[in-house]
Amino acid sequence: MLPRRTPLAAIAAAAGLALIAPTAAHADTFTPGTAGLGDPYFPNAGNGGYDVAHYDLALRFDPKTRHLSATATITATATQGLSRFNLDYSGPKIKKVEVNGKKAAYKRKGQELVVTPQSGLPSGEKFTVKVAYAGKPRAINDKALGKEGWINTKDGAVVLSQPDGARSWFPANDNPTDKATFTFTVSTPVGLTVLANGEPKNPGIASVRNGWSTVKWEMSQPMATYLAMVAIGKFKVTESTVNGMLNLTAYDPSVAKKSKYLHRTTSKVVAWGEKVFGDYPFSSTGGIGDKVNVQYALETQGRPVYDGGPTDDLEIVHELAHQWFGNSVGLRSWKDIWLNEGFASYAEWLYVEQHGGPKAEKTFARLYKNKNEFWKVKTGDPGMKNMFDWDAIYQRGAMTLHALRKKIGDETFFSLVKTWAERNRHTTVITRDFIDLAEELSGQDLDPLFDAWLYSSKKPAL
Ligand SMILES: [Zn+2]
């Protein structure tokens, strides 16, 4: 969620000033919300002037024609008096836009949808935006970042939107700081399965009409827009519980072989994660194996997607570790992506170490032998094109955590990891927050260590 501003009256009171009460008619001035939130890597993603609480996405998709018709109903609160505001959107043709039930004017400008309501939206007040749209959604292809967003598959579609693909299938405040809850109501031709984040509602019963069936899914914990996921197709679904929570996994029969252990491993890893990282942050878990042809897995909230089925157990460990680190403890800025990937990668090292494999120290020592190129990209500010750099973000990110562990000792390190997940549950953070907490718990000055590991283009001294 966006941070709330201190009301003017509170600032005035603190300064010993009396505010002259504004007359009702002039209580608000209405100005346009900004088109972006100024993220250093994605300055146009996200929008200013409001904070979304809930996305209600009603989708109707036919895999045969690849046609989607949809209505997105967004509930938000204005954080300034708004004369107009933007949503990030590059999906199919818009049919209608309404604000608070009244027709609103709109304009599309690149990836921005600019909405002008009939009257200004007062600061602090709730409003709803309804956008109806239809057509053929398309994936976003970025040279540096690959394929993301709405991706059609042989028998349906899968959505994978990190870092900025949400706009390909729904109008969004597409910045990780504005988390919201989600409802998905999805209609498809009978015989297909629909999966999404969270839990299925009306369990087991899809409403069927004229050859179409409709199911509903609900994500009740705050979620960043890039983690929203829908998967449509033919799936084999398995359900059980782990630590009292639903584990729902599914795979496309074409990836059955590689998905053989998906369900069992997911349960095992979630139980392990709760021991090492503390309580699992969401009300259900799971995973999906499908043929998406993107060559990656993504930690879509509560239910990661594995392209082609999981490569191995460690890929499952990685994506599930993201549920704590990345999804619950989210990013305030994309340049801190190491906080997601370094933790998820280090979780793999820990899992190996705690299941009879080589110690994390051994992996660290092997990687530490790397020369020149390996150390070039700064882990703590890699630049947009390098934000998923394997060496700098995943490996050196994990090494940073191991170097920290060596410096502060196992006891403090493991308490830090749990405290970090617990204190920042369902919020967003920056690297400085992590350094501050590490210093607080260890009583050590850790700036030199983090400077060397995160912000230098040289191999850090040991
Ligand atoms: Zn990852």
The confidence score (pLDDT) of residue 8 equals: 46
Supply φ then ψ for residue 427, to 5 degrees: -125, -165
Two tokens, residue 42:
């994605």
170 Cα: distance to centroid of ligand 1 (angstroms) = 24
Nearest alpha carbon to residue 308 among 331, 321, 292, 319:
292
280 Cα: distance to centroid of ligand 1 (angstroms) = 17
**What pLDDT digit, counting tens, does each position of 445-461 carry?**
999 999 999 999 999 99
* Domain range for 170: 1-141+164-189
394 Cα: distance to centroid of ligand 1 (angstroms) = 8
185 Cα: distance to centroid of ligand 1 (angstroms) = 28
- Domain total of the chain: 2
21 Cα: distance to centroid of ligand 1 (angstroms) = 51
The CATH number covering residue 104 comes to 2.60.40.1730
435 Cα: distance to centroid of ligand 1 (angstroms) = 21
352 Cα: distance to centroid of ligand 1 (angstroms) = 17
313 Cα: distance to centroid of ligand 1 (angstroms) = 14
SS (H, E, C) 241-291: EECCEEEEEEECHHHCCCCCCHHHHHHHHHHHHHHHHCCCCCCEEEEEEEC
Q: Is 100 inside any structural domain?
A: yes
**Element at 207 (helix H, strand E):** strand 207-209
440 Cα: distance to centroid of ligand 1 (angstroms) = 27
Residues in CB range of 179: below 8 A, 6 or more apart: 1, 222, 223, 224, 330, 426, 428
- β-pair partners for 97: 131
Taken in order 55, 323, 455, 412, the sign of the CA dihedral is positive
448 Cα: distance to centroid of ligand 1 (angstroms) = 26
344 Cα: distance to centroid of ligand 1 (angstroms) = 6
339 Cα: distance to centroid of ligand 1 (angstroms) = 10
13 Cα: distance to centroid of ligand 1 (angstroms) = 46
Q: Is 347 inside any structural domain?
A: yes
**What pLDDT digit, counting tens, does each position of 139-175 carry?**
999 888 889 999 999 999 999 999 999 999 999 999 9
Cα distance between residue 229 and residue 251, in whole Å: 15
Q: Is 266 inside any structural domain?
A: no
388 Cα: distance to centroid of ligand 1 (angstroms) = 9
From first to last of its 462 residues, the chain has per-residue pLDDT tens of 233 344 444 444 445 454 444 444 455 799 999 999 999 999 999 999 999 999 999 999 999 999 999 999 999 999 999 999 999 999 999 999 999 999 999 999 999 999 999 999 999 999 999 999 999 999 999 888 889 999 999 999 999 999 999 999 999 999 999 999 999 999 999 999 999 999 999 755 677 888 999 999 999 999 999 999 999 999 999 999 999 999 999 999 999 999 999 999 999 999 999 999 999 999 999 999 999 999 999 999 999 999 999 999 999 999 999 999 999 999 999 999 999 999 999 999 999 999 999 999 999 999 999 999 999 999 999 999 999 999 999 999 999 999 999 999 999 999 999 999 999 999 999 999 999 999 999 999 999 999 999 999 999 999
CB 147 within 8 A of CB 141: yes
Q: Is 216 inside any structural domain?
A: no
62 Cα: distance to centroid of ligand 1 (angstroms) = 31
Cα distance between residue 16 and residue 11, in whole Å: 9
Q: Is 423 inside any structural domain?
A: yes
Q: Is 305 inside any structural domain?
A: no
In the chain, % helix, strand, coil (3-state, to 5) comes to 30, 30, 40
Q: Is 202 inside any structural domain?
A: no
133 Cα: distance to centroid of ligand 1 (angstroms) = 32
| Domain final residue, candidates 156, 172, 189 | 189
The confidence score (pLDDT) of residue 209 equals: 83
Q: Is 310 inside any structural domain?
A: no
128 Cα: distance to centroid of ligand 1 (angstroms) = 34
Cα distance between residue 394 and residue 396, in whole Å: 6
CB 151 within 8 A of CB 165: no
Nearest alpha carbon to residue 226 among 178, 166, 177, 167:
166
411 Cα: distance to centroid of ligand 1 (angstroms) = 25
The CATH number covering residue 338 comes to 1.10.390.10
DSSP conformation class of 391 = I
Residues in CB range of 154: below 8 A, 6 or more apart: 233, 254, 291
